[in-house]
Amino acid sequence: MKPSIVVVDDDPIIRMDIREMLEEHGYSVTGEAKNGQEAIEITVKLKPDLVIMDMKMPIMGGIKAARLIRKLQNSAVLILTAYSQKDLVQEAREAGVTAYLVKPVSEENLLPAVEIALSQKEQMDTLKEALKELEQSIEGRKIIEKAKGIVMRAYSVDEEEAFRRMRAASMESRISLSKLAECILEGRAERIFGMARKG
């Protein structure tokens, strides 16, 4: 499935041109907006992969909208602008903008910018997922360590023996080590350890 894109510009002709370029290359344009405020609302509602947004718009500009979108939603933002001053580029970067494109927009410069923005979003999503898994793993280790301390005290055994008993109980009862650790911390592991010791 092709990534979903929202196009934001106060000029309907530019929106139509961008939509046509994207759809010709198989992208799915799921929504349009004419200012930053509308962009935020439609992005929160549709959760697109990418928002292509003009920098200068009435009501709310692209930079402010990009900053709010990045806080509320995990969408990449590609900013379009007629200006390429360093301070604007820096401001866009600080707002969490993924890519930056100077107008006029042509197929030759739009499509590579879209691909780069989507690729960076994919990399960020992968990193976030890996970080989440790492945090869960660390949390699991902490629970196992706490449970091991309880087993050491309860059975007057050393750390290695406590861990061996926990692993045996985990395999015997067919539950993960972290799940067993949770049972130990909640005081619900006596039956499990009884089963493991019988075997």
pTM for the model: 0.66
- Give the C-alpha distances (Å, rounded to integers) separating 56 from 6, 23, 69, 82, 106: 17, 24, 16, 9, 19
- What integer pLDDT is reported at residue 16 of this predicted model? 95
Domains of the chain (ranges plus CATH)?
Answer: 4-105 (3.40.50.2300), 132-198 (1.10.10.10)
Contact 55, 97 (CB under 8 A): no
The C-alpha atoms of residue 192 and residue 176 are separated, in whole angstroms, by 12
The C-alpha atoms of residue 128 and residue 118 are separated, in whole angstroms, by 15
For the four alpha carbons of 24, 16, 121 and 128, in that order, the dihedral sign comes to: negative
- What integer pLDDT is reported at residue 84 of this predicted model? 66
- What integer pLDDT is reported at residue 12 of this predicted model? 93
The C-alpha atoms of residue 60 and residue 37 are separated, in whole angstroms, by 6
Looking at the DSSP assignment, which residues form a beta bridge with residue 83? none
Tokens of 98: 């993924």
The list of the chain residues with pLDDT below 70 reads 84-87, 89, 189-199
- What integer pLDDT is reported at residue 199 of this predicted model? 38
